[in-house]
């Protein structure tokens, strides 16, 4: 192959999905010369599955990405057609924003942002090889299928589901990326040669229907909500210009599926790779939950410039003729026309036990991976990893300490720690239940927790500084007011009228903890009149959960004693007496950086951690 130079860069990013976009933007905004290589410019930030951003747990990630200077929240706000707050009936810790986006507009706006970012060059082409020095110990660049050499001090692989991708629908298997985009067939071999352990995962997507052929009068209309925040802390109100609808499968739907399981690749051996347990196909749901007579189906518009409607909850890899029958059995869809049929997609990914918490490969310096190549599932998980890989690649080149977020600091920290410490045997997704300190990780406090970490970088723009300082000042002012003593006479009357027990000698915060709403307290006592409603809501949550937050802080402090004890990089676990065989093998595989990380590895128990503590003490002496 004839080769030529595409130029010398500080960082090269392979892929322009949600991980690649965040990685490329953060590197360029940090002032480093960046190249972003994509198979097709038309697939930049493409919402290949559902046309939405956020959701349970995932909404937390988007706000954390924004707090760290990322783009996903900003772009989602720009292109929103509906926003809702999920789990509003539950505690604030598990409430999550979800945004219905205009699919095509999301792609266009992100592409426009990338194209107008200084220090960033976008190149259409396929990466087929990671270039390294003579000893394969340090990355030097990327080779494209056209012979182009992109020289780089660091490379971030954000290949999504494109590596050796194959779509599967019934008996038909095609070499294809999502939505008919070309797959990337040349890079997996290079990754395996460098020492990555390659695995095969699977995910899927439902059909897209023509809105003109849906009888929405038979469905339950679901409008967006007003008065809830936008994703980005830089923005104010959200937008609601379109409605979604709810319908259900029925016994006829289930009979069609069960009667044709022999034609489903999931049940006839056509698909053997691991799929996402928390986002199963409709076939899997009908089989696994055989006692259920129906399953929820959400009809979501793909945008304002198209009639395509996404059928959330009904992903499938059934043959086209069965899909047609299956979808038309659902109420409201009796006469529906399918514009794009559902399919499953299989692709190559890596084992993240080969990766440091910085997302750098353990065997090749300067080589990072982010997104679905790391075994995750979801736009938000991908974007979070792209941002962190980009930041850490920049810090490495700049000879600055890496940024590794703890499990007590961010859902991003939980996500990455789970990947590099426990690994995953299926496409991983973030859920609030994965975070042991979730009361401290509310989505409304993401900027308070994380924005200070970028204060000395170019990501902390004048606009972000102004927004952050204003929010922080208003929040602290609100808490100060709430902790002031309320007038005794007014308090006695307030408590009596509402049949609330307790002493009349109380602060406003005490009244809230006893069950009064902050709006009732504010109106009765004439306080907080000049404070933004969203700040008031955040302060109310902090007051209500104060006891739990203090307990959380104690647990976090205790855990940090282990988390802050580093383990030597060259530690020989075979020489440490007292370690069980399973623990020894797992520790050698993961090579944890701290005692805390060691304790979270599957197969390492508290007794093994005690052995490590004793060994460290002995070694120190």
CATH number of the domain that 500 lies in? 1.10.10.1800
Residue 71 within a domain: no
Return the CATH number at 241.
Answer: 2.40.30.260
Residues 223 and 291 in one domain: yes
**What SS3 state is found at 144?**
strand
Task: Give Cα separations from 422 to 30, 149, 528, 592, 599 (angstroms).
Answer: 31, 35, 46, 11, 10
Do the strands 166-169 and 172-175 form a parallel or antiparallel pair, or are they unpaired?
antiparallel
Helix (H) or strand (E) run with residue 544 in it: helix 533-544
Residues 487 and 615 in one domain: no
User: Which of 346, 371, 399 delimits the end of a domain?
Assistant: 346
Cα four-point dihedral sign 304, 307, 310, 316: negative
pLDDT in tens, 438-447: 999 999 999 9
Residues 523 and 606 in one domain: no
Q: Which domain holds residue 339?
A: 208-346
Residue 597 within a domain: yes
Residue 2 within a domain: no
Residues 476 and 526 in one domain: yes
Average pLDDT over residues 366-386: 98
Confidence (pLDDT) at 581? 92
Query: φ, ψ for residue 395 (rounded to 5)?
Result: -65, -35
Confidence (pLDDT) at 621? 62
Plot region of 370 (φ>0 → left; ψ -120 to 50 → alpha; else → beta): beta
Residue 359 within a domain: no
* Cα angle 225-308-58, degrees, rounded to a multiple of 5: 45
Residue 454 within a domain: no
Q: How many domains does the chain have?
A: 3
Confidence (pLDDT) at 277? 85
Do the strands 296-301 and 308-312 form a parallel or antiparallel pair, or are they unpaired?
antiparallel
Return the CATH number at 610.
Answer: 1.10.150.570
User: Which of 514, 531, 552 delimits the end of a domain?
Assistant: 552
pLDDT at 238 over 80: no
Residue 51 within a domain: no
Residue 428 within a domain: no
pLDDT at 587 over 70: yes
Residue 374 within a domain: no
With beta carbons less than 8 A apart as the criterion, state whether 207 and 314 touch.
yes
Residues 594 and 526 in one domain: no
Q: What is the DSSP letter of 613?
A: H
Mean pLDDT for the chain overall: 95
pLDDT at 395 over 90: yes
Plot region of 243 (φ>0 → left; ψ -120 to 50 → alpha; else → beta): beta
Cβ neighbours for 271, distance < 8 A, ≥ 6 positions apart: 168, 202, 265, 317, 344, 346
**What SS3 state is found at 347?**
strand
Residues 341 and 220 in one domain: yes
Residues 230 and 296 in one domain: yes
**What SS3 state is found at 139?**
strand
Residues 507 and 613 in one domain: no
Residues 233 and 336 in one domain: yes
Residues 249 and 314 in one domain: yes
**Which pair of tokens denotes residue 515?**
């069950």
Q: How confident is the model at residue 429 (pLDDT cuts 50, 70, 90)?
A: very high
How is 244-297 classified by DSSP, letter by letter? EEEEE--HHHHHHHHTTGGG-TTTSSS--SB--TTS--HHHHHHHTTT-S--EE
Residues 232 and 258 in one domain: yes
Residues 237 and 307 in one domain: yes
């Amino acid at each position: 192959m004839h080769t030529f130079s595409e130029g010398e860069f500080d960082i090269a990013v392979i892929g322009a999905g949600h991980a690649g976009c965040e990685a490329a933007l953060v590197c360029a905004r940090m002032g480093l010369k960046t190249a972003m290589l994509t198979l097709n410019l038309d697939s930049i930030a493409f919402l290949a599955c559902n046309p939405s951003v956020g959701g349970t747990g995932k909404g937390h990630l988007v706000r954390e990405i924004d707090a760290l200077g990322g783009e996903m929240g900003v772009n989602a706000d720009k292109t929103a057609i509906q926003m809702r707050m999920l789990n509003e009936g539950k505690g604030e810790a598990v409430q999550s924003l979800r945004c219905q986006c205009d699919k095509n507009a999301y792609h266009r706006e992100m592409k426009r942002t990338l194209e107008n970012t200084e220090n960033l060059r976008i190149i259409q082409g396929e990466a087929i090889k990671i270039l390294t020095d003579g000893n394969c110990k340090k990355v030097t660049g990327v080779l494209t299928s056209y012979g182009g050499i992109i020289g780089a001090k660091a490379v971030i692989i954000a290949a999504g589901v494109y590596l050796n991708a194959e779509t599967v629908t019934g008996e038909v298997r095609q070499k294809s990326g999502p939505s008919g985009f070309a797959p990337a067939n040349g890079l997996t071999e290079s990754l395996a040669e460098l020492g990555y352990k390659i695995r095969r995962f699977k995910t899927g997507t439902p059909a897209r229907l023509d809105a003109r052929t849906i009888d929405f009068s038979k469905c339950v209309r679901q409008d967006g909500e007003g008065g809830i925040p936008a994703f980005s802390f830089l923005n104010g109100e959200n937008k609601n210009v379109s409605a979604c609808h709810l319908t259900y499968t029925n016994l006829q739907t289930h009979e069609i599926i069960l009667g044709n399981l022999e034609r489903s690749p999931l049940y006839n051996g056509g698909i053997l790779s691991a799929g996402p347990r928390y986002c199963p196909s409709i076939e899997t749901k009908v089989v696994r939950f055989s006692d259920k007579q129906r399953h929820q189906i959400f009809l979501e518009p793909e945008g304002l410039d198209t009639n395509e409607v996404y059928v959330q909850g009904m992903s499938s890899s059934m043959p086209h003729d069965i899909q047609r029958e299956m979808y038309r059995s659902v109420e409201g869809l009796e006469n529906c026309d399918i514009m794009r049929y559902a399919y499953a997609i299989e692709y190559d990914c890596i084992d993240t036990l080969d990766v440091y918490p910085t997302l750098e490969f353990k065997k090749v310096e300067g080589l990072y991976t982010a997104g679905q190549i790391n075994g995750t599932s979801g736009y938000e998980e991908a974007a979070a990893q792209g941002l962190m890989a980009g930041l850490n690649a920049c810090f490495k080149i700049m000879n600055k300490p890496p940024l590794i977020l703890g499990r007590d600091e961010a859902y991003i920290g939980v996500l990455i720690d789970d990947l590099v410490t426990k690994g995953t045997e299926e496409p991983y997704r973030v859920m609030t239940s994965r975070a042991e300190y979730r009361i401290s990780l509310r989505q409304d406090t993401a900027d308070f927790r994380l924005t200070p970490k970028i204060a000395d970088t170019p990501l902390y723009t004048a606009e972000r500084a102004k927004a952050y300082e204003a929010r922080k000042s208003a929040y602290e002012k609100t808490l100060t007011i709430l902790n002031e003593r309320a007038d005794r006479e007014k308090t006695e009357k307030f408590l009596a009228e509402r049949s609330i027990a307790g002493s009349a000698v109380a602060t406003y915060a005490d009244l809230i903890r006893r069950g009064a709403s902050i709006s009732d307290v504010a109106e009765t006592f004439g306080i907080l009149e000049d404070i933004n409603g969203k700040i008031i809501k955040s302060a109310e949550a902090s007051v209500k959960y104060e006891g739990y937050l203090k307990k959380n802080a104690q647990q976090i402090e205790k855990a940090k004693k282990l988390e802050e004890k580093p383990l030597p990089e060259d530690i020989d676990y075979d020489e440490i007496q007292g370690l069980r065989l399973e623990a020894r093998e797992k520790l050698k595989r993961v090579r944890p950086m701290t005692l805390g990380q060691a304790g979270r590895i599957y197969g390492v128990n508290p007794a093994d951690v005690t052995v490590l503590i004793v060994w460290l003490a002995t070694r120190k002496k």
